[in-house]
Structure 1
Amino acid sequence: MNKFVKTLKNIFSIEELRNRILFTLMLLAIFRLGSYIVLPGVDPSQLNSDSGGILGMLNTFLGGSFSRASIFALGIMPYISASIVIQLLSMAVPYFQRMQKEGESGRKRINQITRVLTIVITLFQGSGYLYSTIPTEAIVIKQSLFYPASIIIMTAGTIFCMWLGEKITEKGIGNGISMLIMIGIISSFPTALYQEVAQLDQNILFVAELIALFFIVMGVVLLNAAVRKVPVQYARQVVGAGGKKRTLATGQRSYIPLKVNAANVMPIIFAQSLMFLPSMIANIWAETSDTARWVQQNFSDFTSVAYNATFALLILIFTYFYTAITINPDQMSEDLKRNNAFVPNVKPGEETSNFISWILDRITLPSAIYLAVVAILPAFASMLGVSASFSRFYGGTSLIIMVGVILDTLQQIESYLLMQNYDSMMKSGNIKGRQNVATV
């Protein structure tokens, strides 16, 4: 406990880190406040607050704003969908590939296109949300005025959420978009925990659930922290070539830490952002088509076989996809060659790139399978009698997102602490430059 208190004191003793944390908390509070502001013209008492299936899971990610028909009802989900589309285009369309290679100017143009596409997606998703989830008896103004005004307000709300996420990333702590999703999930956890305790007749069952949840959390933490170390050898370099005596700096050994779960939480977010689309689209033709009715029923139930099979498949695909676009073996091979380094027993250049790709392919497969298994655990937990609200935290997307975001944020905080300690030791003179040399 004393160590924990000391760590908190160290965190808030660093002015920049303290300001970033307070700034992040302020923006997260604004985001939570907006989730309680209901759309104009809606009677909250007429809304169905008990959203089940996939809509209930989506409502968990949005912190309840989905079921409350708030101005942030769609949150940043349209932005995530737009990002997926742009990343897919960057893999297949030469125009977007050229923009990625243009550096900062290219990234700015891609961000602008992503924002415009977010508005387009929000208009479509907002229309589907208003017509499919808000009952007509809850609308207290003229529908001809309500629908266009609400679509505009929801679009503005999504853009504002996107702005909040970008500001948290820029001036706060952690990844802003992921932080918004995490705070929505955490906000519903106390209620889910209370409901689970209330429905159980025996305390031993609740203790067993907590023990199982503990081991699942530990497994997710291990997955996020696991790395595959690729050994790297730096060649000896001449330090003092002039004079009678030449010295060579001893070749150093190091390694490249390739994360087993390099994609982190993004495959889960990408897959989840697409999973509610089939049921919303099928709902349009559910009254006239048996196939559409089947799709609507199965993809609205997060415990169905069709839903979980599709969800797991999307996670497998997105894990490989996101790993491929974030880790470039060719670039890593070039960087090693430029720094006069090499992988032992592997020739520099193409063979090094192929070797890194070979390792990535083999560590990504178990990572993708593990992510998919953990993501569908809520369905099994629900079958074993765990309440629907609490089962969403019993593994699954909610847990993976929370663990991933929390670990990423803690790593950033730790970096600030290490930097502060390093600066303090440099100022105090406790660190002196050392060079391990060999005389030849």
Structure 2
Amino acid sequence: MLTAFARAFKTPDLRKKLLFTLGIIVIYRIGTHIPIPGVDYRAVQVCIDQASTNTGLFGLVNMFSGGALLQITIFALGIMPYITASIILQLLTVVIPRLEALKKEGQAGTAKITQYTRYLTVALAILQGTGLVATARSGALFQQCQVANQIVPDQSIFTTVVMVITMTAGTACVMWLGELITDRGIGNGMSILMFISIAATFPSALWAIKEQGSLAGGWIEFGTVVAVGLVMIGLVVFVEQAQRRIPVQYAKRMIGRRSYGGTSTYIPLKVNQAGIIPVIFASSLLYIPALIAQFSGGTSDWKAWIERNLAQTDAPTHIVLYFFLIIFFAFFYVAISFNPEEVADNMKKYGGFIPGIRAGRPTAEYLSYVLNRITWPGSLYLGLIALVPTMALAGFGANQNFPFGGTSILIIVGVGLETVKQIESQLQQRNYEGFLR
């Protein structure tokens, strides 16, 4: 593996891409530590040191920002607005005929949809930035912190507007950095920045588990968590790479004196066809009631019920709803992202057929049947992986930043595999040996 890395850096153009990607990553990490104007940095650090952060409500966004959210830096929102905008545009493509037509136009249509995604990202950044500033001003960003109300000393309208504009500009800058990596670096830029944001929280989270442990100075808990994490990484790699290959045969055609077709291929249907999207959907949906209860004034029975059953991640009601929402969104996203009828029509148009299955409607029904069967284990796998942090809270006494589980491990493994494949393809064009032997 070290030899493969050495070969990658010996190739001039590949070395430039790798160094450019590393440079953008350094700039991104520097930006996550620069506080925005109007924030008392010392008060923020005092509240963070007291470990009283409300990670149950803001944990997902804080993870995607590499810990910048709770420190209220210029990159506090991270890439979460872009992820949300991309998901919304992807869902609207199925609903709005105009967007569906743009998607079918090829590169020009994709560029137009990307432009819409940028506009929506800025709008969401303004909305989320306003919510974060309001939360910081009220002191609700940190619980049981004596100086929580002193995080934003100047609560004038001008200061608030400057803070929101700064975070919005930071989000636009993060989006630009991600697109630079995609164009001039290695891998998908947004995925790389997401990978770095999550990986940056691993050392502190692991060390916090060690500090909170009581057996042999916390080293037993630390070693157990690392061992469980390695096992989970192996399981996630196995499931993420698993796929059902449906064989497809193309009929031979004679055009003039030449014959075309007659080849055999397959349709790869992944076990986890939906990826990480169902977990993000389920987390976001469960955060909405807790967010409404937090900003509603006074005390009431419904607010107390939400804080007791939905705001607490280890509550039985939260666990059950979270699990079933992941299963529901897994089937929902697969249904809107993979169209068996369109695939069957394309196969029929080019003379392809599945052996033993008639072309047309029978092929679409067969694809739907297979897709539903493999989505069940994929959705159950997502639900179980997402619940690992909650089980860690009870089993190890770990904090809510337990690294090996849920959204973090799925993104780490998925982006890592995709980046390795891209480097491998670059090396195969020159050395024909691959990245990993």
Partner residue, 1:71? 74
Q: Shift in Å at residue 27 of structure 1?
A: 1.6
The 3-state SS of whatever aligns with 1:276 is: helix
Matched, 1:420 2:433: no
Distance verdict in 2 for CA 1:38–1:160, change over 3 Å: same
Partner residue, 1:231? 247
Amino acid at match of 1:363: I
Partner residue, 2:145? none
Check conservation: 2:64, 2:79, Cα contact below 8 A. Answer: no
Matched, 1:107 2:110: yes
Partner residue, 1:213? 229
Matched, 1:147 2:163: no
Amino acid at match of 2:2: V
Distance verdict in 2 for CA 1:372–1:222, change over 3 Å: same
Supply the distance in 2 between the matched residues of 1:303 and 1:164 (Cα, whole angstroms). 37
Partner residue, 1:398? 408
Q: Shift in Å at residue 63 of structure 1?
A: 1.1
Supply the distance in 2 between the matched residues of 1:274 and 1:70 (Cα, whole angstroms). 26
Distance verdict in 2 for CA 1:5–1:114, change over 3 Å: closer
Supply the distance in 2 between the matched residues of 1:241 and 1:97 (Cα, whole angstroms). 39
The 3-state SS of whatever aligns with 2:272 is: coil
Check conservation: 1:21, 1:173, Cα contact below 8 A. Answer: yes
Supply the distance in 2 between the matched residues of 1:198 and 1:174 (Cα, whole angstroms). 36
Distance verdict in 2 for CA 1:27–1:322, change over 3 Å: farther
Partner residue, 1:384? 395
Q: Shift in Å at residue 272 of structure 1?
A: 3.8
Amino acid at match of 1:263: A
Distance verdict in 2 for CA 1:387–1:221, change over 3 Å: same
Q: Which residue of 20, 30, 33 corresponds with 1:33?
A: 30
Identity of aligned residues (%): 37
Supply the distance in 2 between the matched residues of 1:412 and 1:158 (Cα, whole angstroms). 26
Q: Shift in Å at residue 332 of structure 1?
A: 2.9
1:368-426 Cα deviation digits (max 9, x unpaired): 111111111110111112411552x23211111111111111121222222324599xx
Q: Shift in Å at residue 95 of structure 1?
A: 3.5
What TM-score, normalized to structure 2?
A: 0.85
The 3-state SS of whatever aligns with 1:70 is: coil
Partner residue, 1:22? 19
Distance verdict in 2 for CA 1:363–1:151, change over 3 Å: same
Check conservation: 1:91, 1:97, Cα contact below 8 A. Answer: yes
Matched, 1:292 2:289: no
Distance verdict in 2 for CA 1:420–1:237, change over 3 Å: farther
The 3-state SS of whatever aligns with 1:66 is: helix
Alignment of 1:70-219 (within 5 A): 70-134=73-137, 135=139, 136-200=149-213, 201-202=215-216, 203-219=219-235
Q: Which runs of 5+ in 1 are unaligned?
A: 243-247, 425-440
Amino acid at match of 2:113: I
Supply the distance in 2 between the matched residues of 1:418 and 1:339 (Cα, whole angstroms). 31
1:122-143 Cα deviation digits (max 9, x unpaired): 2222222111134341223352
Supply the distance in 1 between the matched residues of 2:236 and 2:369 (Cα, whole angstroms). 24
Distance verdict in 2 for CA 1:421–1:319, change over 3 Å: farther
Q: Which residue of 324, 328, 350 corresponds with 2:335?
A: 324
Q: Shift in Å at residue 316 of structure 1?
A: 2.4
Distance verdict in 2 for CA 1:8–1:397, change over 3 Å: same
1:242-266 Cα deviation digits (max 9, x unpaired): 9xxxxx8994443222211122233
Q: Shift in Å at residue 214 of structure 1?
A: 2.1
Distance verdict in 2 for CA 1:93–1:292, change over 3 Å: farther
Supply the distance in 1 between the matched residues of 2:305 and 2:174 (Cα, whole angstroms). 34
Supply the distance in 1 between the matched residues of 2:315 and 2:117 (Cα, whole angstroms). 33
Tell me how large the CA RMSD over aligned residues is: 2.8
Supply the distance in 2 between the matched residues of 1:359 and 1:415 (Cα, whole angstroms). 30
What TM-score, normalized to structure 1?
A: 0.85
Say which one has the larger Rg.
1
Supply the distance in 1 between the matched residues of 2:23 and 2:195 (Cα, whole angstroms). 15
Distance verdict in 2 for CA 1:307–1:27, change over 3 Å: farther
Distance verdict in 2 for CA 1:249–1:146, change over 3 Å: closer
Supply the distance in 2 between the matched residues of 1:91 and 1:83 (Cα, whole angstroms). 13
Check conservation: 2:25, 2:193, Cα contact below 8 A. Answer: yes
Distance verdict in 2 for CA 1:326–1:250, change over 3 Å: closer
Check conservation: 2:354, 2:363, Cα contact below 8 A. Answer: yes
Return 275-284 or 409-418, whichever deviates more: 275-284
Supply the distance in 2 between the matched residues of 1:272 and 1:169 (Cα, whole angstroms). 28
Q: Which runs of 5+ in 2 are unaligned?
A: 140-148
Distance verdict in 2 for CA 1:249–1:363, change over 3 Å: same
Supply the distance in 1 between the matched residues of 2:405 and 2:7 (Cα, whole angstroms). 32
